[in-house]
Structure 1
């Protein structure tokens, strides 16, 4: 990992982050409403795509989107396969040891447990979570048996097919799935709102200080003029958590 970080630093220093350079925005494309693939166009869409495009416009940067699987999304940022991560990534100390983050562009969005029954034992049963997420780390710290999957959809499928007793994920990801299940999936009683992490932010290489400052300034501007809250309501509904 140290060699990768050194290589990324050398590359960034050699190329620079001038405003005329195309900034490659890394995302997963599999975590609605944050990011997903538009069936009609085949392009990435979602809250983070709308937000990322607006941030690039305000920072006067030319940006393009790059898809990458979640389980290698940080290593490929460090290896310079793209320049940012916008993929529903919560800020925490473990990740900050490897990459840098902008300020959060969401408030501290809660996580939640969903299951086929509201009285599932989430601390002693089998719980599905996506690999390398703060949710999987949380489950591993409890008495539950952690069942990890590479994609969020697989975690929900594990509950439906009986492999897992419950799924633990961002509540905003699970909410439409629970709502559209017609009662098949329900929130686990007492575990429908679990605060984790410091909020979701954009990840960058630690060497890209200038680029991070440009995006931080654009995020601040959107918070101050209310446009960030408008995007949160657009994608997460009228009851969305917004910035004060």
Structure 2
């Protein structure tokens, strides 16, 4: 009888696993610490760990699909994967083509990095193409030069093609910290230009959005989302608990211009 009960339990677990909804999660895999490829050749980072936890909470079996940034939204819309978690800021411009979950980070700061702290941010500024930072630079009065990846934008500063690079601050931190040539531009190292990062989905996937929204809300409530933010983005990163303590105001910085984004 005991063996029969064990066998039944195993079958039940197997059946539950087989019923888990398969979801394909699109990411860039080239935007640390949010998403990157680790030494084992696996996608890793804040969004990968968070995405895997969210998938467990909505009882989905998720696999990760890497896609170049400049075509990441078109490939979601065409059905090559079901979500985007790729350091993507929520913007009104993007809402025209895709839906977003509730934000899983407070609005993350962007920053200018250059070879001198007094670099001209109204001169020639490099940014990754189709990012919210590129849109911000284009409307700032500076001359925008765009590159396929954030690392190429940084290289443009080092080789003299640009006066500064503008990108997510969390992406730039290790480059500024570990190099002997890159520095923050004075007064321009915490510029907030977005609403926060969210999961991109097709506009028709309203039920999936509701499930992810609930899972994100649950992780905010139990503190596990803030714990992941601190783990991957550092102790100085803005958390939801910190926002609540400030009365819900994420920042008093200028709002982002409407643009496509990271």
Structure 1 residue 237: deviation in Å? 1.3
Aligned to 1:29: 29
Distance 2:235 2:139 in 1: 34
> 3-state SS of the aligned residue for 1:118?
coil
Aligned to 2:171: 173
Aligned to 1:162: 160
Q: Which moved more, 1:101-110 or 1:19-28?
A: 19-28
Q: Residues 30-83 of structure 1, C-alpha deviation per residue, up to 9 Å, x if partnerless?
A: 0000000012x1010000000000000011101000000000000000000000
Work out the number of aligned pairs and report it.
Answer: 224
Say yes or no: does 1:147 pair with 2:155: no
Aligned to 2:225: 228
> 3-state SS of the aligned residue for 1:173?
helix
Runs of 4+ in 1 over 6 A off after TM superposition: none
Aligned to 2:99: 100
Distance 2:183 2:174 in 1: 11
TM-score for both structures, normalised by structure 1: 0.90
Distance 2:163 2:175 in 1: 16
Structure 2 alignment gaps of length 5 or more: 1-18, 242-262
User: Is the 8 Å Cα contact of residues 105 and 239 (structure 2) preserved in structure 1?
Assistant: yes
Say yes or no: does 1:209 pair with 2:206: yes
> 3-state SS of the aligned residue for 1:206?
coil
Higher alpha-carbon Rg: 2
Aligned to 1:187: 184
TM-score for both structures, normalised by structure 2: 0.84
Q: Residues 217-239 of structure 1, C-alpha deviation per residue, up to 9 Å, x if partnerless?
A: 11000000000000011101111
Distance 1:49 1:152 in 2: 19
Structure 1 residue 21: deviation in Å? 2.9
- What is the RMSD of the two structures over their aligned residues, measured on CA atoms? 1.1
Distance 1:217 1:75 in 2: 26
Distance 2:108 2:199 in 1: 15
Q: Residues 102-157 of structure 1, C-alpha deviation per residue, up to 9 Å, x if partnerless?
A: 0000011111000000111111x110000000000011002211000011110111
> 3-state SS of the aligned residue for 2:176?
helix
> 3-state SS of the aligned residue for 2:240?
coil
Aligned to 1:127: 125
Structure 1 alignment gaps of length 5 or more: 1-18
Distance 1:241 1:181 in 2: 25
Aligned to 2:244: none
1:32-111 matches, within 5 Å, as: 32-39=32-39, 41-111=40-110
Distance 2:102 2:137 in 1: 26
Distance 1:142 1:21 in 2: 44
Structure 1 residue 20: deviation in Å? 3.2
Distance 1:190 1:33 in 2: 23
> 3-state SS of the aligned residue for 2:192?
coil
Distance 2:137 2:234 in 1: 28
